Structure 1
Amino acid sequence: MSSDDVQTLTSQELYASQAQLIDEAAEALPHQFTSCTYPLGPLRQAVYLCLTCKLNDPDVQPKGICSACSVACHTDHEQLELFPKRDFRCDCPTTQAHRCTLYTALEPSNEGNKYGQNFRGLFCRCGRPYDAKKERETMIQCVGCEDWFHESCLNLRERPASRALSPVKQEDGDASDEEGSLPPPLISGEDYDALVCGSCVLEIPTLKRYAGTTGVMMVVRHSDAEPWKVIGQEEDGSAETNVEIDAKTAEAEGQTGSKRPREEGSADGSNKRLRGSPSAASESKPCLAPTPNPTAQKIYKCTSANGTDEGKKPSPSEPNFGTGDVFLTEGWRARWCKCPSCLPSLESRPYLLEEEDTYEPPEDPDSGLSLEELGMRALSRLPRERALDGIRAFNAMRDGLMDYLRPFAMEGRVVQEADVRAFFEAKKTENGEA
C-alpha cells in the first residue's frame, strides 16, 4: 500500500470523529440495561426473540426477552426485534440452557405470556419469515394483535415482483421506492394513526360496526375485476352523520336542537359526554354509532360465510372484496359511542379507550459522556489510595507517549496506526505482560 492510500487525520478531526461516535451511541442506547424486567411482572414492553437460543434448542417453547437482557445476556446472539408486546413478562430468567445474568434465580415458565407466530419468526397473514437484511417492504403493526403486516397484504399496493425493488420504510411511516417504479400506497402513513387487522375487527362488535365509516377507513372493491379503493375517508375534516333524538333526551343532555353529531363531539358539551365514564345515567344515552357501512358489513359476512380464517385473504377460488382491515384516523379513541351497547366490547380492550404506556428502561446518567468524563467519574468512586495509584499510572503513560511522539512532531512525520501500536506493545513488554 502506498503512502497516498493511507488516510491521515489531524487531532482535531480525530476528536470530532470520537465526539460524533459518542453522540450516536448515546442516541441509540440512552438507557440503562442493568435490570431484567421480570420482577415488574407482565407489562407492555419492547420484546426480542433470541434466534441463537431458539436454534440451539428448537424443541423448547420460543422465548421473548426484554431490552435489558437482549443487551446484557444475549449480546453475542442473533436477535429479532418484535417491538412492543402487551402483558408480556421477560422469559430470560425461565431459561435453563442460557441463564439470565441480571436475574439469577431460575423461575418457572411464564404461563400468562402469549406466543403468536412472531415468536417463530413469522409475520403477517401471509406467514412469511422476516429477514431485516432482505425485507424491503413496509410493514405496519396492528394495534390489536400487535402482529406486523405488509402493505401489499393490506391491499395498499401491489406486491413487488422483486423484493429488491420493494419500498423502504421511512421514519414517517411512508415508503419510497429506490427505482421509482412503484406508485404510492392507497393510504399513506400520514393519513391514519392506527391499524386494526380484519381478524381483530371481527372480534370487536363496536369496531366492526364503525368499519368503513368516516375516520375508520377500509380498502375494498366490489368485484375481483375492479381496482382497490378507500372508503371512510374524511372530507375536509367536517363530515358528520346525524341521528334524530327526541326533545326530552335533548333537554336532558342540555341540547336545544333536534339533532346532534353521531361521531364528532361539539363545543356545547357533547365532547364531555362522549369521553365520560360509564354510569347509571349512561343507560339512557342514545347510541351515537354511525349507520353501518353496507360494503364493510358485506365483507365481514362473506368472510364468515366462506369459512376462511378471520381477517385472512380468501382462497383464489373465492371473491376477494377486502380483508376487513381498518385504518383509524387521528383522535379515534375520543370518537367512540359509549352507550350500553357499544361500550362493553371497547372496555374489554382498554387500549381502544386509553393510549397504553410502554415501559422503557431508566435513563443512563453516563449516556453521552466522553471517555475522559467516564474515566474521571470512575476514578472519583475509587478509594483514595487506588485513585492516586491510577493517576500516577495515567500520568506516566501520558508522559511516555508524549516523549515517543515528540520526534514525529519535530520531523513533521505523520503518526500511523502501526506507530501507536508499537508504543503500547513496548509498554506491555516493559511491564512483563504477555
Structure 2
Amino acid sequence: MAARKGDSDINNILSSEEELEEALCVLAGSDPENCSYSKGYVKRQAVFACNTCTPSDAEPAGVCLACVNKCHDGHDIFELYTKRNFRCDCGNRKFGGFQCQLNPVSPLNLNLYSHNFRGIYCTCGRPYPDADDQDDNEMIQCVVCEDWFHSRHLGCPVAEPEELQEMVCEACMNKAPFLWTYAARIAVPPVIHVSDPEEEVQVDVEGEDNEDRHRRGEEPSFSEEPVNRSSPGKRTHEEMTGRPAKGTTKIVECKLKELQARGLERLRQGAVFWPYSWRAELCTCTSCKRAYVAAGVQFLLDQSDTILAYEKRGLEEPFGQHPLMALINSMDHVQQLEVIYGFNELTTSISEFLDQCASEGKTVTVEAVHQFFEELKARKRRRTSDGNQ
C-alpha cells in the first residue's frame, strides 16, 4: 500500500507483534553495519538527516543507516524513510570537521535534496510529528518526489489503503502530464469526464475498425489487429513470414495513444492514487520512454523501484532473516523508525550495562538484570511524564 505516516504510541507499537514486524521492514533492505558510500548512488536505501551535524541553516545532507547507528548515535535525527539514487554524505565537507567512523572523508555528492532534509514536509512545510497540529497527522508519500503530504493537503479524497499501492502528488502529475491520461483509466478512483458520452460508446463498440474512426475524424487505435482488406484466402507477407514486407515499417503499439484516442479525461486536480501493478500498464514504446526521461520519471518503468520490492529484497537478505523479522509485518513507516530508535536505545543501554559490569568486575546476576530493566522503565516513565507536562 502507499507509504504512510500516522500518529504513534510506542506502548501500542510494542504491544503488537505484527506492528513490530512492519517497523523493521524499511530498514531490512539497508546495511546496518557498513557505510553505503562505496556502493555509489544506491537505487533505494533508508536515508536520515542529522540536525545536530547539519542544522537547518547548513547545507542539506543525508546519511545511511549504518552511519546513523555508528557515527550519529544520540544525535537529533530526522528519518526520511527511503530515497532513491542516494549516496551517503557522512563525513564530507557539509559536516565541517566531523569524521565518518566507517568511511574516509568523501567529496560532495550529486544527491537531490528536498525540504525533508530540514525536517519539514508537505506543501505546508510543517515538521512531523507536529506538536502544534491537533488534527489527524496521517501523511502519505509521493512516489515521484518522495515528499510526504498530509492527507488533508492532497486535494482529493484519500482512497482506502487496501485499494492502492502508490500515490503521485498533483505537482508531480503536472510535471509528467501524460500520467493524467493513464489516470483516467486506471487510477483509484477513475474520476472521468467524457465530453460526448455517445462518442465513448462508439469507440468501445466491438468490431469497430480504424476506417470507421477515420470517417469520424478520430485517431486510429493501435491496439487493434489490422483488418485484412485482401480477398479471402490470401495472406499478407507479414502474416506468412512474421516480418513486415521489404520497404515497410511495422507499427509499434502505443498504449498512451490508444488511451488518448478514447477521449477520456480526468480532472487535473489533486493527487492521484494508483492500484497494484499500475506501472506495468505504462507504455514502453520509444516515444514514451523519451517522455519519461524528459519528465525525470523514467524510474516508473522499473518495477524494482517500488517500496514493496525494496522491502522484499531486504527480507531476503541475512538481516531480513533475523529472528526479529518473524515479528514484523504491519506498521506505518514512521512507526518503523520510532521502534528501531527504541530498539537501538535498548541495545545501547544493554551494552553499556554489560560494559559497566565488566569494568567493575561484577557478575551479571538475574537480580542485576531485573534491576537494570526496572531502571529503564522508571527512566521511560519520567520521559513520558515530562513530555505530558
RMSD: 4.5
- Mapped to 2, the partners of 1:71 and 1:137 lie a distance apart of 27
The equivalent position to 2:186 in structure 1, one of 215, 222, 225, is: 215
| Structure 1 residue 353 displacement after superposition | 1.5
- For 1:337, the equivalent position in structure 2 comes to 283
- For 1:231, the equivalent position in structure 2 comes to 191
**Structure 1 gap ranges (5+):** 1-19, 157-184, 219-229, 234-238, 259-279, 300-321, 370-392, 406-414, 422-434
- Mapped to 2, the partners of 1:26 and 1:120 lie a distance apart of 26
Aligned-residue sequence identity (percent) comes to 32
- For 1:126, the equivalent position in structure 2 comes to 124
1:127-155 deviation digits (Å, cap 9, x = unpaired): 22222777652111111111111110013
1:67-97 deviation digits (Å, cap 9, x = unpaired): 1111111111121111111111001031333
Contact 1:26–1:368 under 8 Å retained in 2? no
| Structure 1 residue 337 displacement after superposition | 3.5
Amino acid at match of 1:68: A
The equivalent position to 2:178 in structure 1, one of 189, 206, 209, is: 206
- For 2:304, the equivalent position in structure 1 comes to 356
| Structure 1 residue 352 displacement after superposition | 1.6
- For 2:47, the equivalent position in structure 1 comes to 47
- Mapped to 2, the partners of 1:52 and 1:200 lie a distance apart of 31
| Structure 1 residue 106 displacement after superposition | 1.1
Amino acid at match of 2:118: R
Contact 2:49–2:62 under 8 Å retained in 1? yes
The equivalent position to 1:346 in structure 2, one of 292, 302, 307, is: 292
Amino acid at match of 1:210: Y
Q: Which has the larger radius of gyration?
A: 1
TM, length-normalised to structure 1: 0.50
SS at match of 1:289: helix
The equivalent position to 1:289 in structure 2, one of 227, 239, 259, is: 259
Aligned residues: 266
**Structure 2 gap ranges (5+):** 1-15, 194-200, 212-219, 230-248, 325-357, 376-389
SS at match of 1:75: coil
1:140 to 1:27, Cα distance in 2 relative to 1, 3 A: closer
**Bigger fraction of residues in helix:** 2
- For 2:11, the equivalent position in structure 1 comes to none
- For 2:63, the equivalent position in structure 1 comes to 65
1:417 to 1:191, Cα distance in 2 relative to 1, 3 A: closer
| Structure 1 residue 350 displacement after superposition | 2.9
1:397 to 1:93, Cα distance in 2 relative to 1, 3 A: closer
Contact 2:254–2:283 under 8 Å retained in 1? no
SS at match of 1:48: strand
Amino acid at match of 1:145: C
SS at match of 2:111: coil
1:295 to 1:206, Cα distance in 2 relative to 1, 3 A: closer
The equivalent position to 2:162 in structure 1, one of 190, 209, 228, is: 190
| Structure 1 residue 54 displacement after superposition | 2.6
| Structure 1 residue 207 displacement after superposition | 0.7
- For 1:309, the equivalent position in structure 2 comes to none
Contact 2:31–2:65 under 8 Å retained in 1? no
| Structure 1 residue 102 displacement after superposition | 0.8
1:196 to 1:245, Cα distance in 2 relative to 1, 3 A: farther
1:186-208 deviation digits (Å, cap 9, x = unpaired): 42112221111111111213213
Contact 2:78–2:117 under 8 Å retained in 1? no
- For 2:138, the equivalent position in structure 1 comes to 138
1:99-127 deviation digits (Å, cap 9, x = unpaired): 11111x111111x1111111121211122
